[in-house]
Every structure is written in structure tokens, then in C-alpha cells.
Chain A
Amino acid sequence: MTEIKLIIGSVTYAMKAKGLLSRKGLHPRLIKQTRSEEGCTYGVCIPEYELMAAAALLREAQISYEVFRS
């Protein structure tokens, strides 16, 4: 199964996103990344087929994210 990473920033907002997506029936997994621009950052990993739904939910909750395809 292909996964997509949604890079969010703080662990607090990553947890907020995880909770939100889980409550709506999606399958997020909390992740940590190190990126060259910011350094350490947190996000969630979701199955690729859940991307559209996740994106809509996060936009509505005003949680900004960046899509990262590994």
C-alpha cells in the first residue's frame, strides 16, 4: 500500500491532525521527519487513497500541511 506523508510542523498540531482524521474514519500514523529547511518536524502518514479526504478535513480545521511523497 502506498503511503503519503503530510508534514505539519509541531507534534501538537500533528496530534491534532491525527485525532481529527481518526475520528473521521481515516487511518493516520504519527511520524517525525528531519528536513533540510526547518530541521525536525512532525506529521501524519496516511494511505494514498485517503489523501483527498484528509486534505479537505485539514483545510477545514485550518491545519496547514505539506504533502511529501516518499
Chain B
Amino acid sequence: MIYLDNAATSFPKPPAVLAAVSRCIADECGNPGRGGHRMAMRAAELVYECRGALADFLGGVAPEQFIFTLNATMAINMALYTRVRPGDHILISDMEHNAVRRPVERLTRAGLVSSAVFPHNGPFPDVLEQCIADKKSGILIVTARSNVNGAALPVQQIVSFCRSRGYYTIVDGSQQVGHEDVSLTRLNPDAYCGPGHKGLLGPAGCGFLWLRSGEGLREFLSGGSGFDSRSPHMPGQLPERFEAGTLPTPAIAGLREGIRFLEGLGCRAVEEQERELLKQTLELLGNIGHLTLYASEHFPLSFSSTKMKAEDLATHLDRAGILVRAGLHCAPLAHQTLGTQRDGLVRISPSVFTRSADLHALAATLSRLS
């Protein structure tokens, strides 16, 4: 079996991830931050170690700035809903995932905010200047990398410009984190959202929201926080202010090991491997006449075929043991931008475990299509 759907969720996971999840459930799964007994304290240590691992991996920021969520979608919603004010103007790019588009659409339809979409290929800062116009207060939400064709936006420049205009900046790092070196101190947004189960190689059930500060943010989920219980409100400080209820400790334990595995490889090595795989993929698939490629300098890469519709082609590949995702990839806005919204595309997204032979097998199967 050849798994090429790592943009949806990564597979396989490093053995240490499986071991950590299993060990946590077997021996260490007290409720972190709820009790004082040894299992609860051990679980609290696991959670804190993972916060620390994220902090080190993403540029040496503070562990307590990381809030654990269910996934990146929850992180994005949390970043937006805790901050948005009536009358805000929200900017998004034309390549955003529904995790960004849908909550913005919901707020816009409710008449609470106005919104604008800017082209992902700029020119910057001109297109931002036009979108902002005279609107003084607002929020930028931007993906670092498209989940359809890997297009990388110049997020550092975009964030810097919007911050200089007083906009609150949220970056969706779902397809970036774990695939390239990310420094939150260099990128400098107000919020950064990521999944634990894609490039970071952790299990599903865990994502994170990094916040520069919790100042001025309203509560999102309200419930038990494990301390300061007599207060009717959520605690004021990060991260517990935004972590009501029980955390997914086994997933967090697994995520910590995923990060450790990537640290062992090194970000540069991961980037280099992906660059090489992309080069090979472009050469192999570029020679297949019935394919049209939608590619950039990074994975994911998508394509269409004149011989079969995307979903049928994905089914055909599945039968051949090659697992890909077809359709609109929960990003109809991106497909609209690419002009592929009618039938969607077939998307391939490798991981650190993908080998050159896997891509050769994909190309061979596509070549044999009659």
C-alpha cells in the first residue's frame, strides 16, 4: 500500500508515537491538572513536556502560550471567535480552507463583520492595501500553504503589513508545520494554528493554538479548568483560559514523540527530502500526457486527467493500492481560484516516509490508464 494522503492525516506514524500513546493509556492516563495523585501528576508532566516540545520546535517561544485543541479547525475558530468584534473587517486569501472560509462566512452573513478576499499571488502589499482600504479594525486569517497545490503565501510579509495596520493576525499553519522550519518569533503573528496529526506526525485528536497573548480575548469554551474552581469564570491566564475540560492526553503524548522524531531528522533534511520528491514527481507526472498538474514549489500537488474524473481516478488508484484524496479537499475557494471547482482534482501529499519508488509506482499506474 502506498499512502499519499498525508495532507489529510499522516501515515504511518513513527513507532515511538504508537508506543507513547499505548503507554499513556496503559500506565499514565490520569487527568492532567485535575488531581494530586501520581497518575494525574504524570499526565500533567506529559502535557507540559509536549507544550515545551512545541515551544522549542517553533522558535523558542514559551510553553504556556500553546493551547491544545481538537485540531487546527478548532484552533482557527477559537482564534477568530475569541477576538472578533462587531464591525471588524476580515481578510482572507483566495486559497483558504473551509476551516477559515466557513466561520468568516458565518460572521459576515450574520452582519457582524465585513470581509474581503485577496489573491494569494499578490502583488503585496498592494492587494492588502486595497482590501483594507479605510477599514481600521480587523483580522487577517491566512494560510501559510495551500492544501490543494502547496502554494506558499509570503505570510511573514503579509502578517507584518497587516499588523502595522492594526489588524489581528492569525496564520493557519496546517500544511506548513512539520514540513519546513517555522519560527513564531520570526513570523510574528498574533495567533498560529496547527494540527498535531499531519506534518507533526502525532495521532488525530490533537491540534494547537499558539497565542502571543491572551489579553482582551473572550472565553471560548467554558468549563472545568482544574484550578481556581470557585470562580464562575474561566481563569485569566494562558493556557488554561482556553482549555476547558479534559485534554486528549494520549494524543498529546503521541504528538510529543512525533515532534521528537522530526527533531531527530532535522527540519532542513525534511525540507530537502520533500524538495527532491517534488522534483521527481513533476518529472514523472509531467511526462504523462493526459494529466494537467496544479503544482507549486511545495507539496501537496494536484492533478486532473482527461481520461477519468478525479473521484473515479482516486478509486482506480485505491484499487491499485495507492491512496490519494480527490475532490474539493474542503477548499472550494482554492478550487474556484484554480478553476477546478466543477470536478475537483486528485491530490498527492507525501510524508517523511514516502520513497521515490512510491512515486514511480504512482506514475506507472497513471501511465497505464487507458
Q: Which residues in A have some Cβ–Cβ distance to B below 8 Å?
A: 9-13, 15-16, 19, 30-33, 37-42
18 A-B pairs besides A32-B35, A39-B230 with CB distance below 8 A are: A9-B227, A10-B225, A10-B227, A10-B235, A11-B32, A11-B33, A11-B44, A11-B48, A12-B239, A13-B64, A15-B44, A15-B45, A19-B48, A38-B227, A38-B228, A38-B231, A40-B227, A41-B227
When the two chains form their complex, are residues A15 and B230 in contact, meaning their CB atoms are under 8 A apart?
no
Q: A11-B33, A12-B51, A32-B35 are in contact. Are A38 and B229 (CB under 8 A)?
A: yes
A-B residue pairs in contact (CB < 8 Å), sample of 11: A9-B227, A9-B228, A10-B227, A12-B64, A13-B64, A19-B48, A38-B228, A38-B229, A38-B231, A40-B227, A41-B228
When the two chains form their complex, are residues A39 and B227 in contact, meaning their CB atoms are under 8 A apart?
yes
Min distance, Cβ A47 to any Cβ of chain B, angstroms = 19
Say whether B59 faces chain A, with CB atoms less than 8 Å apart.
no
When the two chains form their complex, are residues A12 and B48 in contact, meaning their CB atoms are under 8 A apart?
yes
When the two chains form their complex, are residues A42 and B230 in contact, meaning their CB atoms are under 8 A apart?
no
Report how far A38 CA is from B32 CA in the complex, Å. Answer: 19
Closest 8 CB pairs of A and B: A32-B36, A39-B229, A11-B33, A15-B48, A39-B230, A38-B228, A11-B44, A10-B240
A-B contact count (CB 8 A): 62
Min distance, Cβ B211 to any Cβ of chain A, angstroms = 13
Task: Determine the residue in chain A with the shortest Cβ distance to B49.
Answer: A15
When the two chains form their complex, are residues B226 and A40 in contact, meaning their CB atoms are under 8 A apart?
yes
Most chain A CB neighbours (cut-off 10 Å) among B32, B52, B227, B230: B227
Report how far A12 CA is from B23 CA in the complex, Å. Answer: 22
Report how far A70 CA is from B32 CA in the complex, Å. Answer: 25
Q: A30-B41, A32-B36 are in contact. Are A11 and B227 (CB under 8 A)?
A: yes
Complex contacts, A13 vs chain B, CB 8 Å: 64, 237
Say whether B63 faces chain A, with CB atoms less than 8 Å apart.
yes
Task: Determine the residue in chain A with the shortest Cβ distance to B44.
Answer: A11
When the two chains form their complex, are residues B64 and A42 in contact, meaning their CB atoms are under 8 A apart?
no
Min distance, Cβ A66 to any Cβ of chain B, angstroms = 13
When the two chains form their complex, are residues B64 and A30 in contact, meaning their CB atoms are under 8 A apart?
no
Complex contacts, B226 vs chain A, CB 8 Å: 10-11, 40, 42
Complex contacts, B225 vs chain A, CB 8 Å: 10
A10, A19, A37, A39: the one contacting B237 at CB < 8 Å is A10
Complex contacts, A15 vs chain B, CB 8 Å: 44-45, 48
Complex contacts, A33 vs chain B, CB 8 Å: 36
Complex contacts, A41 vs chain B, CB 8 Å: 227-228
Report how far A39 CA is from B231 CA in the complex, Å. Answer: 8
Most chain B CB neighbours (cut-off 10 Å) among A11, A16, A32, A39: A11
Task: Determine the residue in chain B with the shortest Cβ distance to A32.
Answer: B36
Complex contacts, B51 vs chain A, CB 8 Å: 12
| Binary per-residue interface labels of chain B (219-235) against chain A in the complex, 1 for a CB within 8 Å, 0 otherwise | 00000011111110001
* Contact residues of B between 186 and 233, Cβ < 8 Å to A: 225-231
Min distance, Cβ B146 to any Cβ of chain A, angstroms = 34
Report how far A52 CA is from B227 CA in the complex, Å. Answer: 26
Complex contacts, A12 vs chain B, CB 8 Å: 33, 48, 51, 63-64, 239-240
